[in-house]
Structure 1
Amino acid sequence: MKSNPNIAIVHDFLMQSGGAEEVLREIKALFPDAPVFTLAYDKKRVPPDFTEWQIEPVGWSQRLPRMHKWYKYYMPLYPTMIEQMDLREFDLVISSSYLVALGVLTRSETAHLCYCHTPMRQAWELYFDYKHGYTRTGFRPKRELFKFLYPIVFNYIRMWDKQAADRVDFFSCNSETTRRRISKFYGRPSDVIYPPVHTENFSPVKSSEIEDYFLCLSRLVPYKRFDIAVEAFRRLDLPLVIAGDGPQMSDLKKIAGPRTKFLGWVSDDDKRELLRKCRAFVFPGREDFGIVPVEAQAAGRPVIAFGAGGATESVIDGQTGIFFPEQSPESLIEAVKAFDKMDFDTDTIVRSAYRFDAAVFREKFHRWATERFEEFQRNL
């Protein structure tokens, strides 16, 4: 890489802590002097170490009313907002994008490398899921308004997103699932670099310490399909623990059986203990990759997952977990019954998780960024 290039990092939002933010943390560690540009920043909602960074939120985000609560309603503004980031002074821009970060404007002499968590779900892969979610809640006039506006807004956003993808010089992504989406929606090649998992933070317990419950753990939003798990375990009359919070909590509680327990948000320490001691981790959604199933394996626990998306890249069917073929309670019920008759080797499960260790990510991402930046420089 050019000696001492001036580097900037761009990330969609800094208002939560999830898998995308774990990737951001590792990229920042590789380039510690790089400022982080973002659409909006709330230091109360990010990990404490993030507050020590030089963070540059877009000026608009400081003036929009109740940005942190109403952010999804400001979606039509995000393409314009991301284009207001002034990155003229930088030689290299690295975007961490799941929404619009890939759309920043850079000079012709500036290399733009994008780590794409997924092409914008709301506009592409999960368009109808999100449309249904936005238009089925609230009072009737609001539902009717969203039903009318949603297709119009996202028709424009899809066109902008495709054009914005053309501004990226090189793509990398978090899974083969995402690589295929980038190819289909953007017509661009990308290199797969699996996201980082801190496997050293997890360790298995003795078999005698495994407790009698299955576990779901994530944000409670519709596309995660926790409704499938809740319904399946109600019919099975088996204990299910759900850790996490989100807008679907009340709907899930309405269909839950007496042996389903909702914990809400849990700390990292509690999360580790839940993963270590569950009978199995249940993953009913279709994710771009999915870090928590890898964490479960690092803790030595098998995964029962819907057999599509990123889970097919992290779980080895019959060795570190089991897949169910359809997103339905019936399919999951059959998988749980099959799981009860299977034996899993804890050491095999843990070793499989090491493929996704954070150290592996750092080495691969740094090599990729260096090689692509040097290629860009040669072609100037």
Structure 2
Amino acid sequence: MSTAYIQDWLAGGFVGSEKVLAEMLATRSGPIYTLVHRPQDFVGTPLEGAEVHTSAIQRWPGGVSHYRTYLPFMPYQIEQFDLTAYDTIVSSSHAVAKGVLVGAGQLHLSYVHSPMRYAWDLYQQYLREADLTRGVKATLAKVALHYIRVWDQSTANRVDVFLANSEYVARRVWRTYRRPARVLYPPVDVARFDHTRPREDFYLTMSRFVPYKRLDLIVETFTRLRLPLVVIGNGPDFDKVRALAGPTVQLLGRQDDAVVADHMSRCRAFVFAADEDFGIVPVEAQAAGAPVIAYGKGGSLETVRPGVTGVFFGQQTTQSLERAIGVFEGQARDFDAAVIRRHAETFRPERFREAFQTILTAAEEARQRGQDPERAVMALP
């Protein structure tokens, strides 16, 4: 069957949702429709040279580099793609991709990385961080997000089958759209990590420097404890986090995959403080045999096994993280890199492709028989 893929945007590098899209394309080929595309971000990745169709935002002033400023126009633009030539539509959505228009005879599967967080559960946090709590701009932003929520909820009826990247997101899909979602964990390239190298004394964290990742919490805690910490990543909050860093904290900025894999293979433990929908990076750390000290909420509860592959801390505070580090130090010798690696292998790309193919087949066969594709997918073992 002819298949088209819908991605919110392809302009932020080859990261979580883009890696999922690449594995979907490896399972079944098809063109990609997306709001904006920055090809240079995907040189050397599986998405280099892919057939990509973009929206009018691509041609608007600053459309590629500042596409988020056009958020109020995204629902309209995602509806302008003509997908009538395809039998199956697969959207990879964390914003508006699931809202594409489909015909009665077409099948639409939507892989939801998250319902639009800044319009739903992070709405108040988004307004505070953007300094949009009062004034004319704040009122306009609130009105725009209100209508986006109305649109987002109404477009749930355009989806035949929801897939979610974790049980955590599946619950949020139900709360937002009142629809069940089949959980399909994202693929993690575990093969590029070496879990056999000796562990060294430094701790490691890696993330984009944005508020909800809570790198400030990690850096402040390790500075207080005077423990060695290496931080990889970049982003808007880099200067803020750097100002908190003491002499035991080393900020490396953004690094390539080889440097990341090297540090994960040698670190004493990986530290993760975000309330994440899934969180690929902690799984990558486990693929390298590193125990994970993680905030015990969100996707981490599904990817980290306490006492086996890591430990949790219950609150996003320095005191809670300090206690977790103390617990880890007391158990450090009990963690087995080989056991941690075997757990990470349950997320390898081959499993994702096999499961995605099974889901596609079940949904398409149900549609051909005139049956409910959602029921067929949810009934799969």
TM-score of the superposed pair, with normalisation by structure 2:
0.93
Per-residue CA deviations over 1:245-288 (Å, capped at 9, x if unaligned) read 11010111122222111111110101100111111110100111
CA–CA distance in structure 1, aligned partners of residues 59 and 135 of structure 2: 28
CA–CA distance in structure 1, aligned partners of residues 197 and 256 of structure 2: 23
CA–CA distance in structure 2, aligned partners of residues 129 and 14 of structure 1: 25
| Count of aligned pairs between the two proteins | 367
1:241 has 2:222 as partner: no
Q: Residues 139-288 of structure 1 correspond to what in structure 2 (within 5 A)?
A: 144-207=135-198, 210-288=199-277
The AA in structure 2 aligned to 1:213 is F
The AA in structure 2 aligned to 1:117 is H
Deviation at 1:149, TM superposition (A): 2.4
SS where residue 66 of structure 2 aligns? Answer: helix
The AA in structure 2 aligned to 1:179 is A
Structure 1 stretch 197-206 or stretch 224-233: which is displaced more? 197-206
1:64 has 2:55 as partner: no
Q: Is the 8 A contact 2:98 2:159 kept in 1?
A: yes
Per-residue CA deviations over 1:195-221 (Å, capped at 9, x if unaligned) read 0011111121333xx222111111111
Please point out which of 51, 55, 63 is paired with 1:54.
51
Q: Is the 8 A contact 2:287 2:345 kept in 1?
A: yes
Deviation at 1:143, TM superposition (A): 7.8
Deviation at 1:68, TM superposition (A): 2.6
| Cα distance change of structure 1 residues 73 and 143 upon mapping to structure 2, 3 Å threshold | farther
| Cα distance change of structure 1 residues 339 and 50 upon mapping to structure 2, 3 Å threshold | same
Deviation at 1:47, TM superposition (A): 4.2
Paired residue for 1:139? none
Paired residue for 1:25? 22
Q: Is the 8 A contact 2:5 2:31 kept in 1?
A: yes
1:91 has 2:87 as partner: yes
CA–CA distance in structure 2, aligned partners of residues 151 and 47 of structure 1: 37
Paired residue for 2:78? 82
Q: Is the 8 A contact 2:202 2:229 kept in 1?
A: yes
Structure 1 stretch 300-309 or stretch 68-77: which is displaced more? 68-77
Deviation at 1:51, TM superposition (A): 2.5
1:304 has 2:293 as partner: yes
Per-residue CA deviations over 1:149-176 (Å, capped at 9, x if unaligned) read 2221111111110011221010111100
Q: Is the 8 A contact 2:293 2:310 kept in 1?
A: yes
Q: Is the 8 A contact 2:57 2:64 kept in 1?
A: no
CA–CA distance in structure 2, aligned partners of residues 249 and 183 of structure 1: 35
The AA in structure 1 aligned to 2:110 is C
Segments of 5+ residues of structure 1 without an aligned counterpart are 137-141
Deviation at 1:114, TM superposition (A): 0.6
Paired residue for 1:378? 369
1:350 has 2:346 as partner: no
SS where residue 125 of structure 1 aligns? Answer: coil
Q: Is the 8 A contact 1:218 1:245 kept in 2?
A: yes
CA–CA distance in structure 2, aligned partners of residues 22 and 47 of structure 1: 14
The AA in structure 2 aligned to 1:330 is Q
Paired residue for 1:368? 359
The AA in structure 1 aligned to 2:260 is K
Q: Is the 8 A contact 1:172 1:190 kept in 2?
A: yes
CA–CA distance in structure 2, aligned partners of residues 370 and 297 of structure 1: 32
Q: Is the 8 A contact 1:240 1:261 kept in 2?
A: yes
The AA in structure 2 aligned to 1:96 is S
CA–CA distance in structure 1, aligned partners of residues 131 and 136 of structure 2: 8
Alignment root-mean-square deviation, CA: 1.4
TM-score of the superposed pair, with normalisation by structure 1:
0.94
CA–CA distance in structure 2, aligned partners of residues 234 and 98 of structure 1: 35
1:327 has 2:324 as partner: no
CA–CA distance in structure 2, aligned partners of residues 84 and 193 of structure 1: 29
| Cα distance change of structure 1 residues 47 and 173 upon mapping to structure 2, 3 Å threshold | farther
CA–CA distance in structure 2, aligned partners of residues 101 and 332 of structure 1: 36
SS where residue 45 of structure 1 aligns? Answer: helix
| Percent of aligned pairs sharing the same letter | 42
Deviation at 1:122, TM superposition (A): 0.8
Deviation at 1:377, TM superposition (A): 2.2
SS where residue 188 of structure 2 aligns? Answer: coil
CA–CA distance in structure 2, aligned partners of residues 215 and 375 of structure 1: 47
Per-residue CA deviations over 1:323-368 (Å, capped at 9, x if unaligned) read 0001111100110111111021111111111111110100011101
